[in-house]
């Protein structure tokens, strides 16, 4: 009983001090710790790292404590080197490599920096409003974000050019995840498809990757006027200015990546019905390709916790939700689709093919 109580206390401590994880990550990025280790090309001792960071001598012992918690979180790998007098040495892990390999296919640094910056300046206030929001009728404020800031997240990005730029860079960064999924899918989802519309495709990062890997697919990007202005049509991607709630250009396939989880069921049904009209206008009929998480579909070695945490982000900042298969099935049926197929890819990302 005593050990059970001790474990319960420890779990409570983990919960209330869980905010230390992103704070420690932000500190590591602010100091340039990961870049210094990456640039060094091999593991670094504490003394080498302290010197490279040009920190005051009085901070060396504190740097050790920061490195210890970063190691515990899996961002840094600790090892002992006998040739250095058994001094601890620090190296990068697969997790931290995603934040340092800026020219690699998976560079998530802009996405992580956006999340950390909005946590400090914007999102923390919204998260702390969650309890009060639950007590209010939805008609008052649709999200905790609106309760905290008196406007929606989307309205704020539209009004704040710096926030909008950071958000767009974060979305471009996250496209590397979808590109990786598309390439590893082997191209089966594009068999028989000659045209595709990427809804909310921004600067066309993913659409261009699809066009390069599958040249038979003519790609179009649909996004809001302020997003696509300045982007030029070329032989690879065509840009169309518009609102996905009003019109989606006809194509063999409509691609929705990380779109529907931002909206409630009624808005999703509106979008899906327009997608159905778009693909039904083609000669052969087509499909909607949805790239989203499906709660309950994760790789065996990947925790579902990040997905559940992401669901709380959706609850706080949007009217959306991370859905399980029954939720998705209900949306598709209500939007008038006949069938669907879920292909789990990597981590907690799935490709859902929906047919009219």
CA distance linking residue 71 with residue 44, whole number of Å: 14
User: Is 261 part of the annotated catalytic residue set?
Assistant: yes
- Cβ proximity of 294 and 235 under 8 Å: no
Write 56-60 long-range contacts (CB < 8 A, 24+). Answer: none
Residue of 40, 226, 261, 344 marked active site: 261
CA distance linking residue 172 with residue 176, whole number of Å: 7
> Which residues are known to be catalytic?
261
């Amino acid at each position: 009983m005593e050990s059970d109580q001790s474990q319960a206390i420890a779990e409570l401590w983990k919960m209330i001090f869980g905010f230390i994880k992103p704070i420690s990550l932000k500190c590591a990025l602010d100091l340039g710790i990961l870049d210094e280790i990456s640039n060094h090309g091999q593991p670094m001792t504490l003394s080498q790292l302290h010197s490279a960071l040009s920190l005051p001598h009085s901070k060396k012992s504190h740097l050790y404590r920061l490195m210890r918690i970063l190691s515990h979180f899996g961002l840094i790998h600790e090892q002992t080197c006998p040739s250095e007098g058994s001094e601890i040495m620090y190296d990068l892990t697969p997790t931290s490599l995603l934040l340092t390999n800026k020219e690699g296919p998976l560079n998530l640094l802009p996405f992580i920096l956006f999340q950390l910056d909005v946590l400090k300046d914007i999102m923390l206030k919204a998260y702390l409003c969650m309890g009060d929001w639950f007590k209010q009728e939805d008609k008052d404020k649709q999200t905790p974000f609106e309760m905290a800031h008196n406007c929606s997240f989307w309205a704020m990005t539209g009004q704040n050019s710096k926030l909008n730029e950071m958000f767009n860079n974060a979305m471009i960064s996250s496209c590397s995840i979808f590109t990786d999924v598309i390439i590893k899918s082997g191209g089966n989802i594009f068999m028989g498809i000659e045209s595709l519309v990427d809804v909310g495709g921004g600067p066309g990062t993913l659409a261009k990757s699809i066009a390069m890997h599958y040249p038979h697919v003519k790609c179009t990007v649909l996004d809001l006027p302020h997003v696509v202005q300045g982007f030029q049509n070329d032989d690879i991607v065509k840009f169309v200015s518009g609102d996905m709630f009003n019109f989606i250009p006809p194509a063999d396939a409509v691609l929705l990546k990380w779109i529907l989880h931002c909206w409630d069921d009624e808005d999703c049904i509106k979008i899906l019905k327009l997608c159905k009209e778009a693909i039904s206008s083609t000669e052969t009929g087509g499909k909607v390709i949805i790239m989203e998480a499906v709660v309950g579909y994760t790789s065996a070695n990947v925790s579902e916790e990040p997905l559940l945490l992401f669901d709380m982000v959706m609850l706080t900042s949007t009217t959306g939700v991370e859905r399980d298969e029954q939720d998705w099935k209900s949306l598709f049926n209500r939007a008038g689709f006949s069938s669907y197929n879920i292909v789990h890819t990597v981590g907690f990302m799935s490709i859902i093919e929906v047919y009219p």
